[in-house]
């Protein structure tokens, strides 16, 4: 039977980082990955560019039922540490105007390759096609079973990730392994994914991109998300939808959810009204269909005009009612959308919810229930916003778990 100080279950972002950290601390390490390739999600992340961290991390961008437990991991491996780590692996950073950090070449596969090669260089035994089916025993003599044969470890780190993107290896295995050992999973749902809405309110907008402020309550001053939205046949995608998906998932149980889009976030209502009044006065000879030309993408402008004007779009704009500037402004600054759900896990980048972090020591990520058992990454109840936050949690939690497991193994 193969033996090691640290056995790691899962070869994704957190698992590879845990393996490297444990090996650098002097432990013998075996990593077991269910799939044929290591780091598949890393290689597909950030639209193939790998947004591996975010400059200037703020805890407000993380969501957990145990938020206080995130701080130790994030403090011992910051965004600056992540940049330094990958630079040392030959991947200097490129930082965009939204403080998202990528490898300079903007090639996600290079990040996965660098981690795999460095882990192997540090002596980690990398085993693919080893799907773990059970963990038994305890500290000093854990048995990790798979169809390829058991492995014995003094300590075990569960780093299986979540169930998002099953086509890239997303699985519920990690939850099942930890639940079998007494841990509890918080409710889970897709996150960083498209939002499904009523179709009538977005009919004809498929493929349209626009910049909006989005709010759950029309009366609130501060938007819940701002930026680009991509309209789909069944709802919203793009950065705004991804940022809202976690909150939508939390609200879905037993609630009617409505989003309010400001289609002119940088234009005050009074200025928009004044411009539209001037347009009616000077361009009344144009057809109604052209009333929003130069203001909105044509499909979006037509959708709003059809909701406000019962006549033909070929009518002259002079036929519009006198209060059209006010009515159009009211609708465009507060466009309502009923939310019907989230796209499935196949379309999600991460899983919200997961194994309760309260059952782990935040200073080490070792289980309070099973000494010598650790967990890290997406399998835990930690979800970051879109923009490199989830990979940063993977690096930070993996590093903490790896170092802690190596120290505990003695």
In this predicted structure, the answer to whether residue 348 has a pLDDT above a threshold of 80 is: yes
Q: What is the DSSP string of 199-256?
A: SGGGTT-TT-EEEEEEESSTT-SS-SEEEEEEE-SSEEEHHHHHHHHHHHHHH-TT--
* Residue given tokens 């950065």 in the structure block: 239
pLDDT band, very low/low/confident/very high, at 283 (cuts 50, 70, 90): confident
Q: At what angle are helices 13-24 and 389-409 packed, to 10 degrees?
A: 40
The 10s digit of each residue's pLDDT in 212-268 is 999 999 888 899 999 999 999 999 999 999 999 999 999 887 678 999 999 999 999
Residue 219 has what pLDDT?
82
The residues, any chain, with a CB within 8 Å of residue 115's CB and separated by 6 or more, are 13, 16, 17, 20, 38, 39, 42, 89
The residues, any chain, with a CB within 8 Å of residue 153's CB and separated by 6 or more, are 3, 4, 5, 6, 7, 30, 142, 144
Q: How big is the chain by its Cα radius of gyration, in Å?
A: 25
Residue among 6, 2, 10, 13 at smallest CA distance from 389: 13
Q: What's the rounded Cα separation, in Å, for the pair 336 and 216? A: 10
Residue 254 has what pLDDT?
64
State the first-to-last Cα distance of the chain, in angstroms, to the nearest integer.
21
Q: What's the rounded Cα separation, in Å, for the pair 363 and 57? A: 19
Q: When comparing pLDDT for 115 and 410, which is higher?
A: 115
pLDDT band, very low/low/confident/very high, at 103 (cuts 50, 70, 90): very high
pLDDT band, very low/low/confident/very high, at 81 (cuts 50, 70, 90): very high
- Helix (H, G, I), strand (E, B), or coil: what is residue 119? helix
Q: Which two tokens stand for residue 337?
A: 């959308």
The reported pTM is 0.94
Residue 255 has what pLDDT?
77
Q: What is the DSSP string of 154-179?
A: EEEEE----SS-GGGT--SHHHHHHH
Q: What's the rounded Cα separation, in Å, for the pair 147 and 309? A: 66
Residue among 7, 4, 6, 28 at smallest CA distance from 130: 7
Average pLDDT over residues 167-193: 98
Average pLDDT over residues 66-78: 96
Residue ranges of alpha helices (H) inside 89-209 are: 108-121, 173-180
User: What mean pLDDT, rounded, does the chain reach?
Assistant: 96
How far CA 150 is from CA of 32, 117, 139, 286, 380, in Å, comes to 11, 25, 16, 76, 25
In this predicted structure, the answer to whether residue 65 has a pLDDT above a threshold of 90 is: yes
- Helix (H, G, I), strand (E, B), or coil: what is residue 264? coil
Q: Which two tokens stand for residue 161?
A: 């990730």
The 10s digit of each residue's pLDDT in 362-380 is 999 999 999 999 999 999 9
Is 164:384 a contact under the CB 8 Å cutoff?
Answer: no
CA torsion angle 163 61 404 139 (round to 10): -40
Is 380:400 a contact under the CB 8 Å cutoff?
Answer: no
Average pLDDT over residues 159-171: 97
Q: Which helix (H) or strand (E) holds 47?
A: helix 40-48
CA angle 139/140/145 to nearest 5° reads 85
In this predicted structure, the answer to whether residue 58 has a pLDDT above a threshold of 70 is: yes
* Residue given tokens 């939310």 in the structure block: 339
What structural domains and CATH numbers belong to the chain? 2-190+350-409 (3.50.50.60), 194-342 (no CATH)
Residue 1 has what pLDDT?
86
Residue 253, class by beta-carbon neighbours within 10 Å (0-12 exposed, 13-18 middle, 19+ buried)? exposed
Is 156:150 a contact under the CB 8 Å cutoff?
Answer: no
Is 314:287 a contact under the CB 8 Å cutoff?
Answer: yes
The 10s digit of each residue's pLDDT in 111-143 is 999 999 999 999 999 999 999 999 999 888 999
Percent of the chain with pLDDT over 90: 93
């Amino acid at each position: 039977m193969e033996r090691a100080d640290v056995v790691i279950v899962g070869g994704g972002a957190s698992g590879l980082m845990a393996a490297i950290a444990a090996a650098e601390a002097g432990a013998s390490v075996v990593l077991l990955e269910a799939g044929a390739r290591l780091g598949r999600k890393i290689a597909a992340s950030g639209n193939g560019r790998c947004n591996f961290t975010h400059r200037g991390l703020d805890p407000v961008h993380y969501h957990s039922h145990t938020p206080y437990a995130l701080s130790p991991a994030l403090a011992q491996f910051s965004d600056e540490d992540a940049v330094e780590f990958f630079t040392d692996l030959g991947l200097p950073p490129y930082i965009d105007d939204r403080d998202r950090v990528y490898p300079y070449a903007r090639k996600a596969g290079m990040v996965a390759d660098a981690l795999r090669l460095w882990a192997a260089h540090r002596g980690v035994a990398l085993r693919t096609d080893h799907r773990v089916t059970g963990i038994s025993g305890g500290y000093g003599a854990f048995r990790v079973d798979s169809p390829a044969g058991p492995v014995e470890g003094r300590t075990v780190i569960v780093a299986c990730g979540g169930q998002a993107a099953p086509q890239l290896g997303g699985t519920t295995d990690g939850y099942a392994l930890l639940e079998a050992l007494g841990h509890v999973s918080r409710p889970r749902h897709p996150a960083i994914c498209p939002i499904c809405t009523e179709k009538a309110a977005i009919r004809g907008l498929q493929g349209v991109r626009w910049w909006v402020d989005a709010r759950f309550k029309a009366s609130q001053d501060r938007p819940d998300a701002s930026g680009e939205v991509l309209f789909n046949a069944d709802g919203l995608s793009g950065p705004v939808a991804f940022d809202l998906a976690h909150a939508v998932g939390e609200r879905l149980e037993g609630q009617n959810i409505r989003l309010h889009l400001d289609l002119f976030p940088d234009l005050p209502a009074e200025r928009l009204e004044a411009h539209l009044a001037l347009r009616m006065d000077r361009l009344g000879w144009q057809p109604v269909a052209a009333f929003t030309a130069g203001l909105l993408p044509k499909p979006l402008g037509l959708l709003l005009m059809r909701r406000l004007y019962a006549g033909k779009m070929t009518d002259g704009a002079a036929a519009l009612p006198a209060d059209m500037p006010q009515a159009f402004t009211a609708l465009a600054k507060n466009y309502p959308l009923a939310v019907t759900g989230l796209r499935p896990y196949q379309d999600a980048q991460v899983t919200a919810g997961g194994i309760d972090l309260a059952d782990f020591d935040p200073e080490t990520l070792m289980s309070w229930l099973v000494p010598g058992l650790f967990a890290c990454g997406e399998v835990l109840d930690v979800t970051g916003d879109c923009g490199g936050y989830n990979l940063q949690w993977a690096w930070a939690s993996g590093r903490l778990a790896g170092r802690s497991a190596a120290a505990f193994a003695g």
